[in-house]
A and B are shown apart, each in its own frame.
Chain A
Amino acid sequence: MAAADVRDMLDLPAEGQPRPLKKQKVTEKRPEGITRELFALLGERAPPIAINENRYKGRPKWMSKLRVRPWRMAPFENGARSDGLVLRHWQRQNEPAKPALEGSEMDVDGTKDEKDTSEAVEKDYMFAKYNVRARVPNRYTDEEYNRHLKSDDWTRQETDYLMDLVEEYDLRWVVVADRYDYQPHPVDAETNTSALVPAKRFRTMEQMKARYYFIAASMLALEHPPSEMSEAEFDLHEKMMKFDPERERSRKELAALQLNRTADEVREESILLEELKRITANEQEFITERRELYSRLEVPISVGNTTMYQSSQGLSQLLQTLLQADKSKKRRSILGPESAAAAPSPAGQTPASNAPGSARDSRADTPNTSAPATTTPASAAPTNKKAAAAAAAAAAAATKEAEKTVKTLTTAEEAKYGVQHHERLAPGVQFRSDRAQKLTQAKSNVQTQKLAAALAELAVPLRLTMPTERVCKEFEKLIHSVNLLLDARKVAEKVESEIRVLEAAKEERERRTKEAQEKTTPSTTTATTSSTKPEVKSELHEEDQPLISAEAAAEAATAPDPNGPSTAAPSAVATEGADAAEKPASASAGPAASAEGQEGTSHKRSASVLSNSSDKSNKRQRK
């Protein structure tokens, strides 16, 4: 029974693939070694029997095209040996290079080649190139030894022995020290029987190294004086000259200690290492956390429009939406029994006892202002009012109690601990530095730039490096005075421009009167000029005075004011000064305008500018 039948019976869906296609595939796949009938008996799913035929596979086709290249036992000689030992190894016979055209010739060539390869011993052995030896310094001559290399500790013979050994073992110091077995020369011992023959002594590796390096460095220096050495040579020379056997010895002692530690010491070290790892990991974590915090702090301050919340209506609306959000949030969470009870009941029926709880809850996600905001009349719903009142009462009681228990601090202590009292706290978290930052942002861009320039002139950074309470206060004052100064300067500029305009007008007038005089009688011209001149002069005189006073006021304002409380005074002065400046200006503008009216409309624009700047005082004058 096939699987398909079972599927049919059980009402199972058919397999993903359409049936007929699969069958075709199966029939196509019938392996070679099996007959069609037998294969048909196997059905849809062939049993897991590997049907493989043992058949000679033969060589791949490409191989039959290859030429057979025989191997032969060939003698070879190793270039690294000096004795010409001939050994034999199997080697592939080289093919004759050119494919010969004529059979006879090829035969001859082939035999010749074969002979050549078999007879001739290979000259360049492949592995001879690995025969490398360590570079050892040149050997000293007797003279050189006597002049430069003599040592009290080492005889010439022993030095020779050491150098031989070092060369023999290719500077493998471990082996050299192991094999070092110097016997003082027997001849010496016989000749100097009376003299003290030093007993055979044990040389440490450090002693050997020190001697060898000394000799090697000296020989290097003899070969090339240090001034002519190449950089590598000089480095080597330096290194060898600086070898310190004593330090090496102590290092080895330490190494031996390290090797022979007890299990306890090893355990302790591993514990300490673990601890260190933990500490460094903690530190890393701390650093990443702090970085994250900083990156959060640097998020730009949201500058949404807040005007809609400034009216009481807007505020109440905000409160409503916040409460709605709060409620919906509560409804969603069905965890706490308190919240579950609060959710279905309308806001009006919330029991008063619940209020502090809800207030606390809401405080988490709604701004703190919700409680104070409800106290504003006409905005809050009656229920909220009640709740808020209850909350306020509770809070007051709490604070009273707290006041009773908490001991009062003196002002000095308050300063010390940084205790501050706020009339009203702004909602949410805010930073002192942000507040200071805000001060530097004026309404207009130009003004902001000017502020920044002024601060730069005073060498005060735009962003406070250490925004403590006191620094912020001082900064606030400073910004305020700078603002005043800028205002005063603005006014001064304005007045200056007025003066310029008026002077221009005066010149024009003079020119005209001159022309008029030329036209009419010269006698009248003098009269008019005399009459106009003093007027202008008086104007100038009057204008100068307030300007100076304004400047003085500005100066007073900009002057750093350590005494704090006197901020109001200069500003008052400044405003007065500004007023004073305006008044005379308008006063002078009045006659000027009348004069203009007489002379024509060419200067109307400047006049209007003037009148705009001080239309209030103008009106007063007219009255």
Chain B
Amino acid sequence: MNPSIPPSTAEYGGDEVSAIVLDPGYSTTRAGFAGEDTPKSLIPTYYGKYTYDGQEKLIFGDDVFVTPRPGLSIHNPMGRDGIVEDWDMAEKVWEYSFTSRLTGPKPGNPLQNGLNDTADSELPTEMEGVETEEKPLADSPLLMSEPGWNPTKAREKTIEIAMEKWGTPAFYLARNGVLAAFAAGKASALVIDIGASNLSITPVHDGMILKRGVQHSPLGGEYISSQLRALFKANTPQPISITPHYLISSKVAVDAGQPAQAKYRTFPPEKGPDPSYRTLLEERTLCEFKECVVQVWPGPNKLSATGPNGVLNEDLAKASPGRPFEFPDGYNQVFGVDRYRVVESLFDAKAAIPDSESAFSPPTQVQTVPELIKNALNGVDVDVRPHLLANVVVTGASSLLYGFTDRLNQELMQMYPGPRVRISAPGNTAERKFGSWIGGSILASLGTFHQLWISKKEFEEHGPNIVEKRCK
């Protein structure tokens, strides 16, 4: 095939209209142009707030991690259940996600943009008027994603922001789960999405979610972090305290299990950042720990049970070689069976590590993955259940935990020995992390999709409630 000749549009059904896909999450917000394979703009949903010279200033994007400014506090506009709590700030964060990288300010008319003018003319005031008229999304349709349990009010608010504040000519609100299923190339699937704050199961049939089957629980990445904190607190040689990088000025290599010998940076109380800043940075360390050490017991059976050979699974886990991890302050340790324990409660609520100070209440069995799947399947028609089981899509960054899909497979096979269970989990980490964004990118670049957009005209005619009618 000659690369200089593009495929005719009919061949892949694509028709790109330079739509922007925005996939807001609890931990990160993804944005990019439809038709691309990864989001161009990936920013944390967290934003920083501090006062400088009596003025309140905001920090968006990756900059929040960089400088421990005095009084810097970290906030998140999203609630733990994935629903927006602070709409004003959510709007600003989302706007930053696409204006910073994707759209940017438009080049104005050179006669009026002030660059060619002398310093003290009265034009700047006029120019301001021009700028306020200019909306950030004036010529890009916007596709946004939402969790399956998003309430009507939140949906209406979203379209209002998109239409009125950003001025998008066309808008659509799609479900996370549906998009993740599309990213896996399936119109019907059982989507298991483990994000930072949530673990959700979404049955999708013909590109539409089955609301009665949608299940979610707070056992996401944050919950695993809380388990890790509990584990560190109860660590045997000595409790481990996480000291983020910004508090370390220098460190010395120490042997495994030996107390850290590092010089710490200290901030005077009035000059130091808010504790929420430290929490955010600790979370980054924990994230690294999750990526490097934490492992899901691959099964068969629970970690606390006996395996098929009659050997305790725990003994088997102990026999496997541990994994070392070095904390920012130089403390390092090899983690053996503990690295399985922290995530075991995703499958077995009894295995949760107790921690009275944790923000998370101890999980119940209903919140675990197998129970959620069972409930989700019980909520849908029996005829589609085998089909859903044959199309299980795993997505979300927390699903990248080592051995997660193996365990999931084992659990599903145990729960449903009859029907064929098939898990589709892309091996590419980007595809797993940005599953719903990629699905949105596919959807918004399809020629057949363009009839589904809610246009500005329709919004003006019917009001924000149109989103309930159109985005089913």
CA distance A260 to B213 in the complex (A): 17
A294 contacts B by Cβ under 8 Å = no
| Complex interface: chain B residues within 8 A of A90 (CB) | 16
CA distance A90 to B453 in the complex (A): 19
| Nearest CB of A to B55, in Å | 40
| Complex interface: chain A residues within 8 A of B205 (CB) | 172, 174-175, 178
Q: Give the contacts of A258-283 with B (CB-CB under 8 A).
A: 258-263, 265-266
CA distance A614 to B120 in the complex (A): 159
A56 contacts B by Cβ under 8 Å = no
CA distance A175 to B380 in the complex (A): 9
| Complex interface: chain B residues within 8 A of A259 (CB) | 382, 385-386, 416, 418-419
CA distance A252 to B16 in the complex (A): 43
B447 contacts A by Cβ under 8 Å = yes
Q: Is the CB of B9 within 8 A of A126?
A: yes
Could you mark each residue 8-35 of chain B with 1 if its beta carbon is under 8 Å from any beta carbon of chain A, else 0? Answer: 0110010111100000000000000000
B270 contacts A by Cβ under 8 Å = no
Known contacts A87-B169, A127-B15; A81 and B455 CB within 8 A of each other: yes
| Nearest CB of B to A282, in Å | 28
Known contacts A85-B170, A205-B381; A130 and B17 CB within 8 A of each other: no
A471 contacts B by Cβ under 8 Å = no
A453 contacts B by Cβ under 8 Å = no
| Nearest CB of B to A318, in Å | 70
Contact of B383 among A87, A127, A130, A174 (CB under 8 A): A174
| Nearest CB of B to A123, in Å | 15
Q: Is the CB of B382 within 8 A of A128?
A: no
Q: Is the CB of B16 within 8 A of A89?
A: yes
Known contacts A85-B170, A87-B169, A89-B16; A127 and B382 CB within 8 A of each other: no
Contact of A83 among B16, B211, B458 (CB under 8 A): B458
B258 contacts A by Cβ under 8 Å = no
Q: Is the CB of B382 within 8 A of A255?
A: yes
B265 contacts A by Cβ under 8 Å = no
Q: Is the CB of A266 within 8 A of B13?
A: no
| Nearest CB of B to A399, in Å | 65
Q: Is the CB of B450 within 8 A of A127?
A: yes
Number of A-B residue pairs, CB cutoff 8 Å, is 104
Could you mark each residue 248-259 of chain A with 1 if its beta carbon is under 8 Å from any beta carbon of chain B, else 0? Answer: 000010011011
| Nearest CB of A to B190, in Å | 13
Q: Is the CB of A89 within 8 A of B15?
A: yes
| Complex interface: chain A residues within 8 A of B213 (CB) | 178
| Complex interface: chain A residues within 8 A of B141 (CB) | 87
Could you mark each residue 222-261 of chain A with 1 if its beta carbon is under 8 Å from any beta carbon of chain B, else 0? Answer: 0000000000000000000000000000001001101111
Q: Is the CB of A174 within 8 A of B381?
A: yes
Could you mark each residue 393-419 of chain B with 1 if its beta carbon is under 8 Å from any beta carbon of chain A, else 0? Answer: 000000000000000000000101111
Query: Which partner residue on chain A sits nearest B377 by CB separation?
Result: A259
B125 contacts A by Cβ under 8 Å = no
Could you mark each residue 369-387 of chain B with 1 if its beta carbon is under 8 Å from any beta carbon of chain A, else 0? Answer: 0000000000011111110
| Nearest CB of B to A79, in Å | 9
Interface size on A, residues (CB 8 A): 39
B457 contacts A by Cβ under 8 Å = yes
B448 contacts A by Cβ under 8 Å = yes
B212 contacts A by Cβ under 8 Å = yes
Query: Which partner residue on chain A sits nearest B415 by CB separation?
Result: A260
| Complex interface: chain B residues within 8 A of A173 (CB) | 381
Could you mark each residue 579-592 of chain A with 1 if its beta carbon is under 8 Å from any beta carbon of chain B, else 0? Answer: 00000000000000
CA distance A263 to B300 in the complex (A): 14
- Residue with the highest number of chain B CB atoms closer than 10 Å, among A63, A83, A130, A168: A83
Q: Is the CB of A178 within 8 A of B15?
A: no
A435 contacts B by Cβ under 8 Å = no
Q: Is the CB of B208 within 8 A of A175?
A: yes
Q: Is the CB of A261 within 8 A of B211?
A: no
Q: Is the CB of A266 within 8 A of B169?
A: no
Q: Is the CB of B455 within 8 A of A172?
A: no
Contact of A255 among B383, B457, B472 (CB under 8 A): B383
A484 contacts B by Cβ under 8 Å = no
A131 contacts B by Cβ under 8 Å = yes
Q: Is the CB of B455 within 8 A of A256?
A: no
A78 contacts B by Cβ under 8 Å = yes
Q: Is the CB of A80 within 8 A of B451?
A: yes
| Complex interface: chain B residues within 8 A of A260 (CB) | 416, 418
CA distance A178 to B380 in the complex (A): 7
Query: Which partner residue on chain B sits nearest A263 by CB separation?
Result: B417
A177 contacts B by Cβ under 8 Å = yes
Q: Is the CB of B17 within 8 A of A88?
A: yes
CA distance A259 to B457 in the complex (A): 48
CA distance A266 to B416 in the complex (A): 10
B428 contacts A by Cβ under 8 Å = no
B206 contacts A by Cβ under 8 Å = yes
CA distance A90 to B382 in the complex (A): 45
Q: Is the CB of A174 within 8 A of B419?
A: no
| Residue contacts A-B, CB under 8 angstroms, 20 given | A78-B451, A83-B455, A83-B457, A83-B461, A85-B453, A85-B457, A87-B141, A89-B15, A126-B15, A127-B13, A127-B447, A130-B447, A131-B448, A174-B205, A174-B384, A178-B210, A259-B385, A259-B416, A260-B418, A262-B417
Further 18 A-B residue pairs, CB within 8 A, beyond A83-B458, A174-B384, A259-B419: A81-B451, A87-B169, A87-B170, A87-B450, A88-B17, A89-B16, A125-B447, A127-B450, A174-B205, A175-B206, A175-B210, A177-B381, A178-B213, A179-B211, A179-B472, A261-B417, A265-B418, A266-B418
Q: Which B residues are closer than 8 A to A by beta carbons?
A: 4, 9-10, 13, 15-18, 139, 141, 169-170, 205-206, 208, 210-213, 380-386, 414, 416-419, 446-448, 450-451, 453, 455-458, 461, 472
| 3 A-B pairs with the lowest CB-CB distances in the bound complex, closest first | A127-B447, A85-B455, A80-B451
Q: Which A residues are closer than 8 A to B by beta carbons?
A: 63, 78, 80-81, 83-90, 125-128, 130-131, 168-169, 172-175, 177-179, 205, 252, 255-256, 258-263, 265-266
